[in-house]
């Protein structure tokens, strides 16, 4: 009897040990563990609720930086859930966390883990798309535990509008990742390596964003510019999650005025410099822009049109400054008088009623410094950046209690003529009407 009891004990211990050893095989301590391991029919897995990100929008924008070296440490379900919801999540009011571009959404996100999943924002789940680990092939530039593939539906949007929307998605991924201690960078190649996973015929891959824990942590020092001709931007009480939950698109405004402070926040968010100096990259000191830029070209000009005139945003004269001294930002008058109805003729009628129209114009000559990205067929790369800048403005508007809309420029020639720009050398891409 004693012997039998001893045997039973041994068997139970063996079973327990087997369970512990086999859990990674069962996927329980994999890089992805689904909520209570519920597997829906058709290999669909619910993600847990996203974390609430307390960091203010302004701080998130100032901490945006491209990070490229990641550890092997897995991303938790909660972290992945937070980043995906921020990227292109469904809100409580039925809207998405990014605005519609051209009145539609065309975003598709594939999530590369040990297998390939497609993110379903409608019920915040991952659907198994394909078995097999494609992370190091598709995301060959930077090895990371998760690779996010940003794609768009070609039945719904062309490459330019698809990339504009993905620019909004990319910003949210940068902000959320940074706020929860992860890192990322938008990467894009021609042709896109995303096609290796075998996309449906009506989808196209635009960019890959590795997501991981950082080998060397963020190292930011708060150094606002000592001199600024525009009112200072400070951190608000509005959290990133609140802004993502409440951003609204409007086409009419109560009044026709825009305060200098609001104007300063909005224009800064589009393309300004961070107030942080970044020393994360082995001694090099950088001051990041509020958006990323392919090859760091930063080829855009930003204009602000109010009832008083049209002004060019000079976002800084230098960017290498340890002490924050030489970066001076200001608005340069280009045309005096109310020109908003001219901008409306080139875009949409309601633009003329907005207290502020921000015009995002590509300076084509600045897109070919050492790798020529100036060709019309490459314009989608720049639409990504324009979309990122425009999205920042809408988020910043939300934080200031304002709202707006992103409108593509139909009549580019008229906008060039208004801004006295050579239409062969400049491409006005988007207008953000806000108030």
Ligand X SMILES: Cc1cc2nc3c(=O)[nH]c(=O)nc-3n(C[C@H](O)[C@H](O)[C@H](O)COP(=O)(O)O)c2cc1C
Interacting residues with ligand X (CB under 6 A): 65-66, 68, 141, 185-189, 288-289, 292-294, 296, 381, 384-385
Nearest residue (CB) to ligand X, 275 versus 384:
384
CB count in 10 Å sphere of residue 186: 26
What does the alpha-carbon distance between residue 96 and residue 278 come to, in Å, rounded to a whole number?
A: 31
Strands 116-120 and 107-112 come out as antiparallel
Q: Work out how close the CB of 355 gets to ligand X at its nearest, in angstroms, rounded to a whole number.
A: 29
What does the alpha-carbon distance between residue 182 and residue 74 come to, in Å, rounded to a whole number?
A: 11
Nearest residue (CB) to ligand X, 6 versus 222:
222
Q: Work out how close the CB of 297 gets to ligand X at its nearest, in angstroms, rounded to a whole number.
A: 8
What does the alpha-carbon distance between residue 256 and residue 202 come to, in Å, rounded to a whole number?
A: 43
Nearest residue (CB) to ligand X, 223 versus 289:
289
Nearest residue (CB) to ligand X, 34 versus 70:
70
Q: Work out how close the CB of 162 gets to ligand X at its nearest, in angstroms, rounded to a whole number.
A: 12
Q: Work out how close the CB of 188 gets to ligand X at its nearest, in angstroms, rounded to a whole number.
A: 4
Q: Work out how close the CB of 206 gets to ligand X at its nearest, in angstroms, rounded to a whole number.
A: 8
Q: Work out how close the CB of 55 gets to ligand X at its nearest, in angstroms, rounded to a whole number.
A: 18
Nearest residue (CB) to ligand X, 62 versus 111:
62
Nearest residue (CB) to ligand X, 168 versus 381:
381
Nearest residue (CB) to ligand X, 160 versus 238:
160
Q: Work out how close the CB of 294 gets to ligand X at its nearest, in angstroms, rounded to a whole number.
A: 4
406: left (phi over 0), alpha (psi -120 to 50) or beta: beta
134: left (phi over 0), alpha (psi -120 to 50) or beta: alpha
Nearest one of 345, 348, 349, 335 to 306, comparing CA atoms: 335
Q: Work out how close the CB of 41 gets to ligand X at its nearest, in angstroms, rounded to a whole number.
A: 38
What does the alpha-carbon distance between residue 284 and residue 290 come to, in Å, rounded to a whole number?
A: 19
By CB atoms closer than 10 A (0-12, 13-18, 19+), residue 195 is middle
Nearest residue (CB) to ligand X, 61 versus 419:
61
């Amino acid at each position: 009897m004693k012997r039998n009891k001893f045997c039973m004990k041994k068997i139970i211990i063996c079973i327990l040990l087997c369970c512990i050893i086999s859990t990674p095989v069962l996927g329980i301590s994999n890089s992805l563990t689904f909520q209570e391991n519920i597997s829906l029919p058709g290999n669909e897995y619910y993600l847990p609720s996203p974390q609430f990100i307390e960091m203010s929008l302004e701080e998130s924008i100032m901490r945006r930086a491209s990070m490229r070296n990641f550890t092997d440490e897995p991303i938790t379900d909660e972290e992945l859930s937070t980043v995906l919801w921020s990227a292109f999540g469904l809100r409580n009011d039925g809207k998405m966390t990014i605005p519609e571009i051209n009145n539609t959404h065309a975003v598709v996100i594939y999530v590369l883990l040990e297998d390939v999943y497609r993110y379903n924002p409608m019920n915040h789940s991952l659907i198994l798309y394909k078995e097999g680990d494609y992370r190091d092939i598709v995301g060959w530039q930077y090895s990371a535990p998760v690779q996010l593939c940003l794609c768009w539906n070609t039945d719904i949007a062309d490459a330019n509008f698809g990339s504009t929307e993905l620019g909004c998605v990319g910003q949210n991924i940068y902000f959320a990742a940074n706020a929860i201690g992860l890192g990322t960078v938008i990467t894009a190649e021609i042709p896109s390596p995303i096609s290796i996973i075998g996309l449906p015929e009506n989808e196209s891959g635009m960019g890959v964003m590795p997501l991981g824990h950082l080998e060397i942590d963020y190292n930011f020092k708060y150094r606002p510019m000592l001199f600024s001709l525009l009112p200072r931007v400070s951190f608000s009480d509005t959290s990133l999650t609140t802004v993502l939950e409440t951003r609204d698109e409007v086409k009419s405004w109560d009044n026709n005025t825009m305060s200098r402070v609001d104007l300063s926040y909005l224009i800064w968010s589009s393309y300004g410099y961070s107030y942080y100096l970044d020393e994360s990259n082995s001694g090099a000191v950088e001051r990041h822009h509020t958006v990323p830029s392919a090859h760091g070209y930063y080829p855009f000009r930003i204009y602000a049109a109010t009832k008083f005139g049209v002004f060019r945003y000079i976002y800084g004269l230098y960017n290498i400054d340890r002490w924050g001294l030489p970066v001076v930002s200001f608005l340069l008058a280009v045309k005096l008088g109310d020109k908003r109805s001219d901008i409306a003729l080139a875009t949409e009628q309601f633009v003329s009623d907005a207290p502020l129209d921000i015009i995002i114009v590509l300076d084509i000559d600045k897109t070919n410094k050492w790798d020529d990205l100036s060709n019309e067929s490459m314009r989608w790369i720049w639409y990504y950046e324009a979309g990122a800048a425009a999205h920042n403005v809408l988020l910043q508007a939300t934080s200031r209690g304002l709202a707006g809309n992103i409108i593509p420029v139909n009549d580019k020639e008229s906008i060039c003529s208004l801004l006295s720009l050579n239409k062969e050398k400049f491409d006005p891409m988007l207008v953000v009407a806000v108030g």
